[in-house]
Structures are given as structure tokens and as C-alpha cells.
A and B are shown apart, each in its own frame.
Chain A
Amino acid sequence: EAQVTQNPRYLITVTGKKLTVTCSQNMNHEYMSWYRQDPGLGLRQIYYSMNVEVTDKGDVPEGYKVSRKEKRNFPLILESPSPNQTSLYFCASSLGQGIGELFFGEGSRLTVL
């Protein structure tokens, strides 16, 4: 089954404790991206990757890091989480640039105390 898998789905952590949210897709997609969803603000792009070893900032990259060492994986790293990073996070992938449909994961709800 074609899918984008995120882990963990739910996480409660404390300020400053490094964490990683993993994202993996099994569709051989070149393009992958991360979004955060907050009430009243919709979906905002954090980082995106056009292909392996190619990443770029989205609209709200501060406080986040990403890496794309393999085509299928695109982890989101919070080196020193803060309460303002409490949010619902989505990973998504698509075939490539200009090839329309985005496939989203189920989401990871993060709470930073």
C-alpha cells in the first residue's frame, strides 16, 4: 500500500530535549516536505526536499533541521524544542517538481512543556 509513515504519532516532551520525528514514503517520490498545522494558521511549510541531499527552507524553518540521506526518508529534527513548537506536524511527498498530488502522512502531534 502506497503511504507516508510518520513516527511518533503523539509525543509530549520538555523544553530543550532534542527530538526527531521520522517520515518514510514507499512510493519512490523525489519530493518530500514538512508542514506544521496550527489553529487559524492553516498549513505552513517548514522544509522541503527536491531530492536526496537537496533541502531548502519553507516559510517557518526556525528551530528545525532536516536531512535527506536516502530517497525514502526525511526526518524532522528539533534540536532544542520550545513551547511555541507545540503543533501538529505533517510530512508529505510527491513524484517531483510540478507533478501535482501531495501524499500526506497521518500527522504527529507534538507537545513541548
Chain B
Amino acid sequence: QQQVKQSPQSLIVQKGGISIINCAYENTAFDYFPWYQQFPGKGPALLIAIRPDVSEKKEGRFTISFNKSAKQFSLHIMDSQPGDSATYFCAPVSSGSARQLTFGSGTQLTVLP
């Protein structure tokens, strides 16, 4: 079952550019929409998350945009930096479920200096 579809698989951006990663989902019961960031040799760590009562959330250079009707949410990284080079995963979850999680397949972001 492919409940979560993440794109693109890889992304190369110049320093200072905008990185955009998308996550499409099928389960309308999802009510928590996080993005995780993973550096090589490390475990994923929560970057930013949104609940469906708002359409956008911004934390520094990172923004989540949420489109409930389209069943998708996006991560925008403004003024991308080489230190942002990492793999990014979406992992929407439903608080009403038994918490079986499905992660997106991941996006490998490379920011060129």
C-alpha cells in the first residue's frame, strides 16, 4: 500500500536558492504532518510539523504548506545552505490510529556552495 508519495527523490539546489519537497497522501484521517531531516550516519530528527487547522507554518528558513483538499503538504527551504544537505522524510500520522507509521521514500537534498 502506498499511502504516502514523496517527490522528488533527489534535488540539487544552488546556495541561496529555494528547495521544495512534496508529500502526497491518501488517508484523510491523518492529522499530524511532520518533516524529518536525516544527516549521514545519524537518525532522523523532527524538523518541522503542522496540524491541519492551519495552512502554513514557518520556522526560520523552513516552511510547511498544507493543502487539505489536495491531500498534500510541502516543505520549503528558503535561502538554502550547504548545511541543509540531508535526506528529508515526510511521515503523516493519524492520532486516531494505532500509530502504524508510513514514511515517505525520502528526498536527498544537495545544496551546492
Contact = CB atoms under 8 A, between A and B. Distances in A.
Interface of A: 4, 31, 33, 35, 40-45, 48, 50, 56, 58-59, 90, 92, 97-102, 104-107
Contacts of B34: 100-102
A35 B36 CA distance: 14
Contact of B98 (A4, A40, A97, A99): A97
Interface in B90-105: 91, 93-105
A48 B100 contact: yes
Interface of B: 6, 31-32, 34, 36, 41-46, 49, 89, 91, 93-106
Contact of B99 (A41, A42, A50): A50
Given A100-B34, A101-B49, A102-B36, A43 B99 contact: no
Given A41-B105, A42-B89, A102-B91, A97 B99 contact: yes
B43 A104 contact: yes
Given A42-B105, A43-B44, A98 B89 contact: no
A12 B102 CA distance: 28
B43 A90 contact: yes
B101 A45 contact: yes
A99 B49 CA distance: 12
A40 B101 CA distance: 18
A58 B89 CA distance: 18
Given A43-B89, A98-B32, A98-B93, A48 B99 contact: yes
16 contacts: A42-B6, A42-B103, A43-B103, A45-B102, A50-B99, A58-B100, A90-B44, A97-B95, A98-B31, A98-B94, A98-B96, A98-B99, A102-B44, A102-B101, A104-B45, A106-B42
